[in-house]
Every structure is written in C-alpha cells, then in structure tokens.
Amino acid sequence: MKINLSNPQKMQILHGWGTSACWWSQYCSEPETQDKIVSLLYGSDGLGLNIYRYNIGGGTDEGNCRVPNPWRRSESFLLYDREEEKSSWDFSLDKNAVEVMKKSLATGNVDTLILFCNSPHYSQTASGQASGALIGHTCNLPKMNYRKFADYVLCVAQHFIDCGLPVKYISPINEPQWKWGGTDVWQEGCHYEKEELVEIYHIFAEEILARNMSVRLYGPESGCMLEDTYDYIKALTADELIMSVLDVFAYHSYHNDNNPSARYEFKQNIVSKYPDFRFDMSEWCELPNKSHTKNFKGALITARIIGQDLIYGGAESWTSWVAVNQFSIKEDGFDYSDGLITANDDFSDWYIAQRYYGFAHFSKFVPVGSTALDLGFRPSDDKNDFNAFAFLTPSGETVLVIVNEGDTCGITIDGDFSSMKIIKSTQNIKLEDSYNGNFKNQFDCEGNSILTVVLK
C-alpha cells in the first residue's frame, strides 16, 4: 500500500478531543478512583483530552419517574416542591460529578468546557419527567416554559462561571429527532420539531445577550449526520440572532459505522456549503455495539470512525459518547459496555476497554491546532478494511494513523523525512514503540492492528 505524503492537501484545523461525564461521574465517589480515571482521560500521560462535556441533568421526581436504571437519570441543582409549586437551588448536589469536572480541569489540558442537556428540568416538562413526553415524537417542553428552561441552564452556567470554571459553550438540545418518551423510556431525552428547536435556540440567544454572558451556543447535536441535519442547519443559519451566538454546529455520527459514503455526503452537501461554520462531531459510540470490551475490534472500529469523521466528514473536533459506562454482560459472558472505560455501579470494579486505545492513537499524538491532510484515500462501504489518516502538527511533525482490519500488508511512504517513530497496538500489545530511528519508506503493517507513525 503506497501512501503519498510528499504534498498532501491541507484541510481543516483541529480543535481537539473530548468525552462526556454524563451519568457515570455522579456515581464515581472515591477520590482515588476519580484521580485515576481523570488521569487516564485528561492527564498528559493518558489520552490528554481537552474537551469536557458536563451534563446539566433534568433531575428526578422519585414519585413520577419511569427510568428504571439510576445510571440513566441525573441529579439536578434545582429542587422543586410539587405541592408548593416552588423551586429552589442547592449547588451542593451532584457533588461527585462536579468534583470529577474540577479535577479534570486541574490537569491543565482542558480548554473547552461544554454544558449540555438531554432534557429540560422535569418540573418544566409536560409529563413531569425528564425522559420524554408520554407520546413519542412529541416535544415534552410546553412553549410557555421555553424561557424557564433557558433560565435554568444559564443560571447553572453562571454559577459555574462565578466559581471560576471556564464554561465556553451551552448545548441545550440533544438528538432532537428521536422519539424520546412514549411507552418505553430508558434515559433522559426530549424530542423537538425543527421549528421548536429554532425557537428555543432563539430564546437562549436572547438570554445570553441580555445577561451579557461570555458563553456561546453549541449544537443542536443532531443524532445522525444526514437526514434531519440538513433541515436543522438551514433553519438555524436563517436566524441572525441565533447566528450571532451560535459558534459550532455539533452533530453525532451514529448509525453509519460501515458507511464512509455517509461522511463523503455530509462533507459535500453540508460542511462545504457552510465554510465559515465550525463542525464538531460531539458524540459517538459503536451502535449497535457488537464489540465486547476485551475485543480489539472495538479499538479498530473506534480508530476508523475517528479518522473518517475527521478526514472524510470534515469534523474539526471528535468526542466520544460517555467516558465510562456500566458493565453490560451478555449471554456469551462478555461485557458489551460502550464506554472507553467500563465499571460496575459503584466503581468498586472498573477497567479500561480496548476502544480506549483506538482513541489514544489519535489524541496522544495529534494535538490541538493540527491540520488534517487529504491523502486521496476513498474507501467504499464494501471495501473499508484499510484506512490511513494524516495530520500536520503545529510543531511540523507529520502524524500518520493506519487502521488495518484486514491482512498484513506492506506500506510504502512517499515523502521527505529524516526520522520516524512507529507506535503499535494489537489485541496483545498496546501503544508499543515498535520502531524509533531513521526514516524508512517501507515497513509492514500487521493485520488487525493500529499504527501511529510520527515523521520528522
């Protein structure tokens, strides 16, 4: 396989790497465990992530909650007395999640703090629940409460800012097109039609400007790259007030794990038509998840998706869904948790999943400010087992990430370099320095492996 690095086309500049603290961080209570996980995710010896997503939860009314799994609910700072119909604030709540956030910020690597919502506060919803309306595909937020929702989110943001936390973005809506609610609920969520979404973003923009806040809007976190996403961006960009505050169009790249063609279409029909907009891929995990936590296939798929979202889809940052998820033991005895790390409910037992290392091959070697390079590769939906992605770092290094899900193959590099370092991961080895020396333009890439090649 020949890889031409002599004069690749320069594309977008990357804003970095992230993950979400949603759900898990509120149950991670032991300081030592917090420290270890924070180090693995945000520490310089870990993934070195720079984007932190904190979930402003919708809260739980214990007398009116249909979500059976406590890990799919969230604690809110806003307390609501249903009998008195009065609300009050208690910012001592959600203390574990706040502590994990503060420790992550203390690593010095986080430059982007995003506050996002899966649902409005339950007291503001039609069902009185944060898990969606009683009828699916119906907005659970009455129009009369749009501004209350904005006030709730921005008050939390202002509290964090007053505490010295560098909140950068507010993302009030998450995956608006999905049904959220109905007879079967499993987590927080809220459906919005396009018109409802735009009106809510408009109100958020009004309130941010009226309060003279430094935060910017982010979103709308469309649940897929195509389909409704076209309509969302057209509608949002048509509103001048929203556009005065909305800096980033964020979307999720679910449901297209084996479809590079979807990324080509997204870049051609959306990204290229809005050249002044920043596009962030803000949420992904393997869905449906067919790779158990100890199967290196999960790392291979993660690495392939990261590279394809950046190079073929035009994303300027890449964020995984949750950093940690619950053990999910299936009939075959394996754990199919979809997090980078997997844990039992109280974190007395946890470990690193294989997909963590697929992420590491990018985040540890491709820093913020790197430029994505087009090598001319165009895998197809039916021939997608070899991928190579390249980046130019701010210090002038060229970083090549090779994801080989097929057989062992020879690699030939065309380019003018003096030295190279090859970092390798397989089922049995992780981030091993397999070569460090003078540049050589030919080497083998083992089947079912990931290589990061750093060239100077």
Q: What percent of the chain has pLDDT over 70?
A: 100
Q: Binning pLDDT at 50, 70 and 90, where does residue 439 land?
A: very high
- Residue-level pLDDT at 79: 97
Answer yes or no: is 205 within a domain. Answer: yes
Rounded (10°) CA dihedral 102, 107, 109, 111: 20
Q: Binning pLDDT at 50, 70 and 90, where does residue 359 land?
A: very high
CA atoms lying within 13 Å on the CB side of residue 172: 32
Q: Binning pLDDT at 50, 70 and 90, where does residue 307 land?
A: very high
Q: Binning pLDDT at 50, 70 and 90, where does residue 219 land?
A: very high
Backbone angles phi, psi at 225, to 5 degrees: -75, -35
Answer yes or no: is 4 within a domain. Answer: no
Q: Assign 3-state DSSP to the chain and report helix, strand, coil percentages, each to 5.
A: 25, 30, 45
Which ranges constitute the DSSP H helices of 244-313?
260-269, 297-311
- Asked if residue 301 lies in contact with residue 286, where contact means CB atoms within 8 angstroms, the answer is yes
**H/E run at residue 40:** helix 31-42
- Residue-level pLDDT at 81: 94
Strand order in the sheet with 350-352: 324-326, 341-343, 350-352
Mean of the per-residue pLDDT values for the chain?
97
* Dist. CA 341–CA 328, nearest whole Å: 12
Structure tokens of 64?
Answer: 């009116």
Q: Tell me the CA distances in angstroms from 339 to 118, 273, 303, one per residue in order.
A: 18, 33, 14
Q: Which of 366, 387, 305, 339 is nearest to 13 (CA)?
A: 366
**H/E run at residue 445:** strand 442-445
Answer yes or no: is 202 within a domain. Answer: yes
CB atoms near residue 332 (< 10 Å): 7
Q: Tell me the CA distances in angstroms from 435 to 429, 431, 455, one per residue in order.
A: 14, 12, 12
Answer yes or no: is 374 within a domain. Answer: no
The CATH number that applies at residue 210 is 3.20.20.80
Answer yes or no: is 420 within a domain. Answer: no
pLDDT (mean) for 55-79 = 96
Backbone angles phi, psi at 447, to 5 degrees: -65, 150
What's the predicted TM-score (pTM) here?
A: 0.98
pLDDT (mean) for 236-257 = 97
Q: Which residue has the tokens 């690193």?
A: 352
pLDDT (mean) for 435-446 = 98
* Dist. CA 286–CA 256, nearest whole Å: 9
Q: Binning pLDDT at 50, 70 and 90, where does residue 267 land?
A: very high
- Residue-level pLDDT at 403: 98
Total tally of structural domains belonging to the chain: 1
- Residue-level pLDDT at 277: 93
Q: Would you call 386 helix, strand, or coil by DSSP?
A: strand
CA atoms lying within 13 Å on the CB side of residue 115: 25
- Residue-level pLDDT at 126: 98
- For 294-304, letters b (16+ CB in 10 Å) and e give ebbbbbbbbbb
β-partners of residue 2 are 412
Q: Binning pLDDT at 50, 70 and 90, where does residue 247 land?
A: very high
Q: What percent of the chain has pLDDT over 90?
A: 99
Length of the chain (residues): 456
Answer yes or no: is 428 within a domain. Answer: no
181 DSSP 8-state letter: B
Structure tokens of 322?
Answer: 């949750």
pLDDT (mean) for 227-247 = 97
Q: Would you call 405 helix, strand, or coil by DSSP?
A: coil
**What radius of gyration do the chain's Cα atoms show?**
22
Which ranges constitute the DSSP H helices of 138-227?
146-162, 194-210
Answer yes or no: is 134 within a domain. Answer: yes
Answer yes or no: is 285 within a domain. Answer: yes
Domain carrying residue 357: 16-368
